[in-house]
Structure 1
Amino acid sequence: MALGMLKKKRDSKMSTDQENENEQNGNQQNGNQQNGNGEDKEKQGGGPPKPVGFLDPRMKHVRRSVAGKWLLTTVVLMIFILGVLSIYWACLFHVDQNLSSLVVYVVDFDGQVAPYNTSGVTPLVGPMITDMARSMVASNEPTLGWGPLPPSAFDYDPIKVRQAVYDFDAWAAIIINPNATALLYSAVQNGNTSYDPLGALQLVYIDSRDDTIWYDFMAPFMSSFMTNAQSSIGSAWTRQILQAASTNTTLLSNIAAVPQALSPAIGFSEYNLRPFYPYQVIPAVTVGLIYLIILSFFSFAFYLPVWMQYLKPEGHPPLKFHQLVVVRWCGTILAYLFLSLAYSLISLAFQINFSGGNPVSSSTEVTSTVDGNLNPDAYGKGTFPVYWMLNFVGMIALGLACENVAMVVGQPWTGLWLIFWVITNVSTSFYDITIEPRFYYWGYAWPLHSVVEGSRHILFGLHSRIGLDFGILIAWAAVNTALFPFAFMFMMYKNKHHLHEYWA
């Protein structure tokens, strides 16, 4: 009986030990399962996972994933920076080689027009100026496109040279007046005290055509050329007259009465046909236009949630898809109409002239910027509506492209698109394409180029290419309108919308 009791007690102990071991194994398995599944027991209990350190073994796969994605993102952004920002840096990379595209006419009328062609005076000023221009071209040094032309190319009419500059045939022109040398001789032979050296030559240009091109690239060369011309001609002329005066006392007394006939002897009268004025117009034709792109770009994010309400069946059925496309397109264009009006009103508010009134309207005369006169706008009292419509069509061309790309690529790539869109437009709009490498000639078809060119014409009364500018912008609007429904459809497909539910 005692043995039986001992055996029963031993079996009971063994059973208890087995239960304890099973419980321990179960607890260990539960612990492993909890560690492997990221604190499942805590989640089931309603509490958040307990934060761990960066080097926790359970964060190993997360660290690898984050490092890989960080590296990939950084490499992509570096490639983008090198590729796209290089477009802007490179646009002026070959300016020295392309300076010759900035044509400067040099037209010698000296002694070529009656009565100075039969006066018996041998021209001095004209031949020396044209020889200087030819030597500049032959120097093989970076220089402007000096182009000596005979007066017959302009029917012996200096005014037609000015017209050529206004018509953008040349960036500037140096005109040697028909009486340039004859007046010099008359001054020293007759003691003409009214002689004005500035009556010998003319410099004609239009800085509002592109103020950056003129002041940064052309003006230094022009200033150097005019200084050298005065020095060379003054030296040659003074030597010639002093030799003659050594045996002619009358000539010597005349020189004393007319010292300006020896120094500086000749000078340049400058005619800036359309001055870049007033200065508050600078944003309207340069950096301010960047905001036209930015406004059209960000309008997508503001208006998209508004249009998408038509697709959410919250108390109403969804709108038919093709009608939604039409409604959204019309709403976007209408928004551009008012946004471009607000943009245009800024220029009006800061007193840029949009109502005519400049006393000079001739294309060959210098417009007045004194006595309160401002920029010589192109269309009088109709200037502002034309300016508004240019900005409106420009915003459609720039904005619909942004809308389509934003719908196709989505976030975060739309930010990269904005950078690309701004850089490619600025590179071919704020600098004249003729001084850029030929790679940039596609910029003639880019929308902002037409907006800048059209704005300069409207605000300064420059040579008109307004029909071409509007045509290019309308073409952009038409192409992006045709792509608009397909881009919208692709966006909905990416967002898992079932398009077949909305087709009528």
Structure 2
Amino acid sequence: MSDKQSNESSSSEGVQPYLRDGGRASVHSGEEEQDLLRTISEYNDETVTSGEARENERAREEDLEKGIRPPGPPPKYSLFSKENRGVRMQVFKQYAVVILALWIFILSVWPIYWGSMYKRDGRLINLHFLVAVEEDRAAPISQALYLATQHPELQLSATWDFESNLSEADVQKLIHDQKYWAAIYVTESNVSQSLTNAFVSAENIDTRNFVRSLYETARDPTTMEGFVSPTVFKFEAYFQDALQTEIYPALIKNLTSEQFSRLQNTNVLTSYPIIQPTDAIPVEPVTNGPLQVGLIYIIIITFFEVMWMAQLYGTVAKSAITIHYIMFRVVLSQLNYLLISLAFTCLNAAFQIKMDNSWKGGFGVFWMVSYLTMAAVGGANQNIGLILFAIHPPLMGFWMLFFVMINISATFAPIPLCPEFYRFTYAMPIKNAYELLKVTLFDTSRKNLGRYFGILVAWIVLNNLLLPVCMAFFSWNMKRKIMKEVKSKNDAKKN
């Protein structure tokens, strides 16, 4: 053999193994790619949640153990091929049903929240304001207060109730007891006489403390900032306008020329009483956390708790008698809410939210209110979740949004400014939790304390009584579905 042939042979032998290895790598890579694509299509959302993927894998493993070659996957075609015409029609029908369901949900449930704000300005007269005047309502200051309330804009902004001979303590009690949203009152019974004397005697006068306004922002921070405070500011403008255009000219008219001449050397003509605002219970911005978004998070976290505990409940159900299994779920749920609410309370304490304004053991009270709230909404989530999961699992997401909306629509908005339909909010757990937290954090009125606690406890008791019924429905419906699927598969095998 020549050197040239020897070199060609060596070269050929050196190249062939590389080509064979490369070919194997290419084939192996192609098989891996096919396996990956098959996995994506076989282990999809529907087959995994329905258990079909697990059943197929179990059957494949059994065939391998018996030495039987597992059947290959069914043939697949382009989505737009004629073989998939039936699939396309099925997908279109299912898609239309899903979109229709979302449309119905949006147009029927979301309006609950939008409706609470609809034409709210037309119901401002449902907000009652107190105007506490002097015994003589015709006195200059009292008359100016009355004239201010007659302005068309203020007539549409609130309902103005007049009272006489009220002390400052009386006014404070009426506001704290939530009889009125705000009060505008004269500080003393002789303020008008002091003003008249200043005109007659031509003496300087300090009118800054003649009239005050009183309100409690903690009663409802959103309402105070959005409606009450702006109304008080507008009232002050119209009150001073009445003094300038009606009251002061009338007082000047009764003066002699000499008195008016001396009056010009004083501050009386330019000293108009202002309305000194007093916020009896102000609110720190950080408290909006537990009072608003925090309450929404409570609903959501209890929904997560139900899903996280499902495997644990299943473990107990396999080995415990039925009555003990039911009792275990009831007790463990309450323990979960107790511990999760403790974390919620510690979170608020970490941000230095003061909890002892109303009671010395404010931390414990806040914890118990949080627990009652979680138990009330969590029990409802658990029961409805069992029912909806047994019927159609995607409905659970609809329930979550619906439950949040019916709880918050009129909770963070003043119910008097909402349509009468929203009176149901008084019976919702989040509304009563909201009121209890305000009492705990700010020492607001306690007159309805029993009702707030009673409604939360009623929700908890009702949820626990209904839990066995919901569990029975879940088991019955799921068993019926599984038996129907098994029967369908057996019939398919026979055919």
- Paired position in structure 1 for 2:358: 378
**Among candidates 291, 302, 316, match of residue 310 of structure 1:** 316
Q: CA RMSD in A?
A: 2.2
Separation in structure 2 between the aligned mates of residue 458 and residue 338 of structure 1, nearest angstrom = 20
- Paired position in structure 2 for 1:162: 172
TM-score (norm 1): 0.77
Shift of 1:189: 3.8
- Paired position in structure 2 for 1:395: 374
- Paired position in structure 2 for 1:123: 139
Q: Deviations over 1:97-117 (max 9, x none)?
A: 3211110011212658xxxxx
Tell me the SS of whatever aligns to 1:256: coil
**Among candidates 242, 261, 264, match of residue 252 of structure 1:** 261
Q: Does 1:474 align with 2:457?
A: yes
Separation in structure 2 between the aligned mates of residue 299 and residue 129 of structure 1, nearest angstrom = 56
Q: Deviations over 1:121-172 (max 9, x none)?
A: x7211023124324559x8x63211112343xxxx43321221011000101
Q: Deviations over 1:203-253 (max 9, x none)?
A: 1111111111111122222211110111221333442455456611x5533
Separation in structure 1 between the aligned mates of residue 235 and residue 135 of structure 2, nearest angstrom = 18
| Structure 1 residues 239-318: aligned runs within 5 Å | 239-243=249-253, 247-248=257-258, 251-257=260-266, 259=267, 261-276=268-283, 278-312=284-318, 318=319
8 Å contact 1:204–1:270 — kept in the other structure?
yes
8 Å contact 1:134–1:148 — kept in the other structure?
no
* 1:482 partner letter: L
Shift of 1:190: 4.1
- Paired position in structure 2 for 1:24: none
Separation in structure 2 between the aligned mates of residue 173 and residue 308 of structure 1, nearest angstrom = 59
- Paired position in structure 1 for 2:149: 133
**Cα gap change, 1:186 to 1:242, in 2 (>3 Å):** closer
8 Å contact 2:175–2:182 — kept in the other structure?
yes
8 Å contact 1:230–1:264 — kept in the other structure?
no
Q: Does 1:196 align with 2:206?
A: yes
Separation in structure 2 between the aligned mates of residue 158 and residue 236 of structure 1, nearest angstrom = 27
- Matched residue pairs, number? 409
Separation in structure 2 between the aligned mates of residue 186 and residue 199 of structure 1, nearest angstrom = 17
* 2:474 partner letter: M
The alignment-based identity, stated in percent, is 25
Separation in structure 1 between the aligned mates of residue 394 and residue 248 of structure 2, nearest angstrom = 72
TM-score (norm 2): 0.78
Shift of 1:256: 2.0
Separation in structure 2 between the aligned mates of residue 83 and residue 284 of structure 1, nearest angstrom = 29
Separation in structure 1 between the aligned mates of residue 114 and residue 480 of structure 2, nearest angstrom = 43
8 Å contact 1:387–1:458 — kept in the other structure?
yes
- Paired position in structure 1 for 2:410: 428
8 Å contact 2:436–2:452 — kept in the other structure?
yes
**Among candidates 199, 207, 227, match of residue 217 of structure 2:** 207
Separation in structure 1 between the aligned mates of residue 136 and residue 209 of structure 2, nearest angstrom = 14
- Paired position in structure 2 for 1:149: 163
- Paired position in structure 2 for 1:404: 383
8 Å contact 2:148–2:242 — kept in the other structure?
no
Separation in structure 2 between the aligned mates of residue 388 and residue 252 of structure 1, nearest angstrom = 68
- Paired position in structure 2 for 1:360: none
Q: Deviations over 1:69-115 (max 9, x none)?
A: 11011101110011110000000113123211110011212658xxx
Structure 2 spans left out of the alignment, 5+ residues: 1-67, 482-495
Separation in structure 1 between the aligned mates of residue 261 and residue 345 of structure 2, nearest angstrom = 64
Separation in structure 2 between the aligned mates of residue 126 and residue 287 of structure 1, nearest angstrom = 43
Tell me the SS of whatever aligns to 1:496: helix
Q: Deviations over 1:9-51 (max 9, x none)?
A: xxxxxxxxxxxxxxxxxxxxxxxxxxxxxxxxxx987433343
8 Å contact 1:202–1:268 — kept in the other structure?
yes
**Among candidates 471, 477, 487, match of residue 494 of structure 1:** 477
- Paired position in structure 2 for 1:60: 85
Separation in structure 2 between the aligned mates of residue 437 and residue 339 of structure 1, nearest angstrom = 35
8 Å contact 1:110–1:125 — kept in the other structure?
no
Which one has a larger percent helix, Structure 1 or Structure 2? 2
**Cα gap change, 1:204 to 1:130, in 2 (>3 Å):** same
**Cα gap change, 1:402 to 1:146, in 2 (>3 Å):** same
Separation in structure 2 between the aligned mates of residue 217 and residue 132 of structure 1, nearest angstrom = 17
**Cα gap change, 1:421 to 1:241, in 2 (>3 Å):** same
Tell me the SS of whatever aligns to 2:358: coil
- Paired position in structure 2 for 1:186: 197
